[in-house]
Amino acid sequence: MPKQLVLQHGRLSPSVEARLKEEFDIVRSGEQTDSMAVLRQHAGDITAMATSARHGVTAEVIATLPRLRAIASFGVGYDNLDVAFARGRDIDVSYTPNVLNDCVADLAWGAMLDISRGISEADRFMRRGDWLKGAFRLTNRLSAKRLGIVGLGRIGRAIAQRASGFTMDVRYHNRGAIPDVPYVHEPDLAALARWADCLVVAVAGGSDTRHLVSKRVIEALGRKGYLINIARGSAVDEEALTTALQAKSIAGAALDVYSVEPCFPEALAKLDNVLLLPHIGTATHETRAAMGELVIDNLKSFFATGTVLTPVPEA
């Protein structure tokens, strides 16, 4: 049987691109200077597209493809996908949830341990030969502390579950209380920050959560509090956070995401009270392979049944 035609919009990992080529005939766009010309050339043939959360897809691209009916995105975020415009044209948009929960939660815990115990800072201390001059500074215990989670979705719950091994008290902030969880809901985010020793950001990106962790929330976290962001850079007021870290008005931060990636505030690189990671929450062999397979499975499902397996949820 001839393969179905799929538009690959933007680069994906080599393994995912190889799997796409195994299963489908591929037309590529998104990197070329004449990308829109490529889209117009194949506009009458394209019914399905593969893209990524990082690359996204705009209304302009969608409007160029009158027969498009499915978008399969590699990633759990969908703030770079114009989902509302796609749905207005009866296009199913899928993403890759669940398969990445554990790896992102693991990274959140690694980041919390690192910034509270000064692990990366101690490594730099050793490499500079500073141990010969004196002992490393005292750090803060993580066990039996208070953990606040901003966004108790799939990843937030995975983070919370791991807290039991550290005998931590857990509270969370959501738009509303969740009935089937054992954690205390705190409707006021600043109050949660004031209570917490560690505040982990695990919300979706987009306009609804932009600067949700505001200057007021960062100030409420206080001199003994740590901020960990493994969600989206847009969810935190990056300027206010940088100022707080410089002034040491919070204890520290661990960041895997930034407002404008791959850029980040240069001032942060000069500080020892911040851990800087290059957006690696899902960057394990196991998770990336599972995400890639889910992209393939969503496309296969669309061609077989007309629907995708993991649609982006309704707002």
Catalytic sites, residue numbers: 232, 261, 279
CA 133 to centroid of chain Cα atoms = 40
Q: How far apart are CA 315 and CA 201, in angstroms?
A: 19
Count CA within 13 A, CB hemisphere, residue 212. 29
Q: How far, in Å, are 7, 145, 153, 239, 250 from residue 168 at the CA level? A: 47, 5, 19, 30, 20
Determine how many CB atoms are found less than 10 A away from the CB of residue 70.
23
Closest CA to 111 of 202, 190, 206, 214: 202
As given in the structure block, the two tokens for residue 164 are: 């039991």
Closest CA to 199 of 141, 250, 144, 246: 250
Q: How far apart are CA 156 and CA 143, in angstroms?
A: 18
Q: How far, in Å, are 127, 130, 256 from residue 124 at the CA level? A: 5, 9, 19
